[in-house]
Chain A
Amino acid sequence: MKIALMGNPNVGKSTVFNVLTGSNQQVGNWAGKTVERKSGIIHRANEEIELIDLPGTYSLTAYSQEEIVTREYILREKPDVVMAMVDASNIERNLYLVLQILELAPRVVIGLNMMDLAKTAGITIHSNKLALALNVPVVEITAAKGQGIEEFLAEAIRVGKLKKDPIADDVPYPEELENRIQAMERLLSDTIWATKYPLRWLAIKRLEQDPEIGQTWKSIPQTNQRNRSTDPCCDPGDPVKYELQESVSLPGEALLQAYEAEGWNKDHFEMAVADAKYKYISKILPEFRVNENPVKRTWTDKLDEWILSPFWGYPIMVIILSLVFWFSFVASAPLGGAVSEAMAWAADVIVVIMQWGQMPEVIQSLVRDGIFAGVGAVLAFVPQIAIFFAFFSLMQDSGYLARAAFLGDRFMQLMGLHGKSFFSLVSGFGCNVPGIMATRTLEDPKDRLITMLINPLIPCVPRLGVMSAVVAAFFPGSRGAFIMVSLLLLSMLLVMFSALFLRRVVRQKERSAFVMELPLYHVPTIRNVLLPTWQKTYSFLKRAWTFILVASIVVWVLSSYPQGVPMNETWAGKMGGWLAFIGQPLGFDWRIMVAIVFGFTAKETTLSTLGILYGVAADASQSIAQAMTGAMTPLGAYTFLVVYMLYIPCLASVVTTYKESRSLGWTSFGVAYNLILSFIIGWLIFHGGQLFGFQ
């Protein structure tokens, strides 16, 4: 049995999906987190169920990429049952989509979520009366607390097993519309299409001249779809591609033309249908909803008084963001230091054991100078990653992120960016891959492309981790925080500049609308904060002992052979030698060039590579960054930091850009843009700094 979770954005679909399947779909309090379908298999009552989590959508007439995913799924795959989720605190607008679903899908169960929020807002909903009004089963749930989820699923299974399709009540349309729908129904009732879709839905869509009516699509089997090794830090979902099988024109062309002559064109039909649905909702609403005190000020109102205040809003935002960065990258330094020391100590102990066991010198060197120097360097910033993610989850699960988008929108506008680009850019701090995928919520392909291309300029946490490790070594004390902030500001500045620049490169005519829901604040749940934090940290750790371990061994081999020659005569040294001409204008030596090249695969390897090449473990009490201080001036280090921050994030982000833009040209453009920009800015800083006499 195939059961799909559908509903408006931010109603808790992924929360339910995670509870039922044990997955870790991204959850947070803003609209548009899930952008790709995701399926999971569960077993209940001797039944194998494929549960599908879909991106949220406001209607089935879809425009943006993630809504198209949902629409395609529901139209082309036809799930056996739809679990339609509704936000009880915002039921009026939510029911609009439910009415659309009821017209299309025969078996529907409504899940009335966020019952707790509705209650605190003074809204009572009588679910049995709602069920009566629409003639559809309704289950009350509070997904965040895990209440009612099993009942919701059980009800869906029950409906799925019914012998005959249940019949929900039709939306009453005004007479002039109803007559036209019926006329169209008569024309369509004999076609084979009427066996595939509900007749009424088909007739309405025909009147609205929906392009998909009359088309048959087939999904293209995905070849080795499970191959996800390219993006280890995030789950890209289960995308499906379709192929057009055939396209026929349905009867009724003459009728449509006659209606058009009467002034009933497709826009008019759309408007009339929507209007009738909203009217119907307003009419039945009093039957099941009691709003005790509609003017009662909720927590959200009280908090927004300050947080969105024209006067206090920005200072509060600056304080919150500074605290997050301070805790993650400054206050966490002792923790990172402790990890490095522990690693150095462990390396010592193991080397002693190996010496005692008379292991060959080569193996000892591999363990000490390869594995511990490389992987250990990367592990040192695990605390940063964990702390940053905890705060990030807190901000997104509370609903603050949506507020930040509201306040930041003015700046997005100055950059010529769409308001929703904000979420893509902010997600980029976590990892650029989901950041790039988040651009799907942008309707306009040009807006989308621009946001996709500037996303890599946002430093992701692993990058910030490496940067803060280097900063801590070269600029101890409060100077470090200052340097870190300057780097972040530089990245913001370049995002702004690039957006304006790309707006000239990518020609664009019309701007799409920015309408964003501001959700009620939620008390973040421990699960939603700690679980993603743990998962990110874990996936990072996993990378450390798989990918980075391999990279470390490769670098160690390259830098140790041929044996017995000085470092710059080894393979790595030669490779660095060829690249030195690029590094020279920036004051980089060959080691940094090698590290930068390895950084293309994943940015953390830059630090492990440097750790090996600077041969820290020879004196295990030192951290890599400290070893680098001997070899570089602070100005050189700053230049390195800037170049490091700006050149492409990792292979996975490039692959994602290609998948999302479906254009090799723009992907190459993006890579070239990043490389050239990082070189130019690095050069300016290095030479500008020398000019002003900085060291």
Chain B
Amino acid sequence: MDRFLQDLKPGERARVERIEGGGALRRRMMDMGIVPGVELEVVRCAPLGGPLQIRLKGYYLAMRRGECARIMVCAPNREYSEPSLASR
């Protein structure tokens, strides 16, 4: 079942499947290490719909919900097939 990063609960882990929307946003995420196949964990959510704290590659990142809603994730243990390199 595919979900968006935004829907994860604190403490949940997932693997990035695809980043929707193109251009600057996708590149910015790419530079920060959010590429298809990478594993990440939602550490906590700021209250009242604030940003999410995410852990990946051994560091912490804060991201707004709006951005998290564009990152499609799947369960971390699912066998990972070659990234579909979904470029648009």
Contact = CB atoms under 8 A, between A and B. Distances in A.
Given A63-B24, A419-B64, A514 B51 contact: yes
Interface string B24-60: 1111111111011110000111111111010001111
Given A267-B88, A410-B50, A515 B67 contact: yes
B25 A512 contact: yes
Contact of A96 (B27, B33, B85): B33
A268 B53 CA distance: 29
A382 to B, nearest CB: 37
A513 B67 contact: yes
Contact of B28 (A93, A513, A519): A513
Interface in A256-293: 265, 267-268, 270-272, 274-275, 278, 291
Contact of B60 (A63, A275, A518): A518
A570 interface: no
B61 A409 contact: no
A475 to B, nearest CB: 34
B59 A268 contact: no
A303 interface: no
A59 B31 contact: yes
Given A271-B85, A308-B46, A410-B48, A93 B63 contact: no
A407 interface: yes
A406 B62 contact: yes
Contacts of A443: 24, 28
Given A268-B85, A274-B35, A515-B67, A63 B28 contact: yes
A517 interface: yes
Contacts of A96: 31, 33
B5 to A, nearest CB: 12
A93 B59 contact: yes
Interface residues of B, number: 40
Contacts, number: 136
A291 B50 CA distance: 32
A120 B27 CA distance: 32
Contact of B35 (A59, A63, A275): A275
A308 B53 contact: yes
Contact of A93 (B33, B47, B49): B33
A61 B25 contact: no
Contacts of A211: none
B58 A92 contact: yes
A58 B36 CA distance: 18
Nearest to A405: B62
Q: Which of B23, B32, B45, B53 has the most CB of A within 10 A?
A: B32
B47 A310 contact: yes
Given A265-B87, A310-B45, A93 B32 contact: yes
B62 A409 contact: yes
B62 to A, nearest CB: 5
Contact of A513 (B24, B36, B37, B59): B24
Nearest to A63: B24
B7 to A, nearest CB: 18
B21 to A, nearest CB: 9
A413 interface: yes
A335 interface: no
A593 to B, nearest CB: 44
Q: Which of A123, A268, A406, A519 has the most CB of B within 10 A?
A: A406
A515 B35 contact: no
A629 interface: no
Interface in A378-411: 405-407, 409-410
Contact of A517 (B25, B28, B61, B87): B61
B72 to A, nearest CB: 15
B46 A407 contact: yes
Interface in A287-304: 291, 294, 300, 304
Contact of A267 (B50, B53, B87): B87
Contact of A308 (B32, B44, B85): B44
A518 B61 contact: yes
Contacts of A272: 85
Interface string A231-268: 00000000000000000000000000000000001011
A477 B28 CA distance: 51
B45 A275 contact: no
Contacts of A350: none
Contact of A61 (B27, B64, B85): B27
B29 A513 contact: yes
A406 B46 contact: yes
B85 A515 contact: no
A516 interface: yes
A293 to B, nearest CB: 12
Given A275-B36, A275-B85, 9 more contacts: A93-B59, A274-B35, A300-B60, A309-B44, A410-B47, A419-B62, A514-B63, A515-B32, A518-B62
Closest 9 CB pairs of A and B: A58-B31, A410-B50, A518-B60, A268-B87, A59-B31, A310-B47, A267-B87, A92-B57, A90-B59
15 contacts: A59-B27, A93-B32, A267-B22, A267-B23, A268-B87, A270-B87, A275-B37, A300-B60, A308-B46, A407-B50, A419-B64, A514-B63, A515-B67, A517-B32, A517-B60
Interface of B: 22-33, 35-38, 43-51, 53, 57-64, 66-67, 83, 85, 87-88
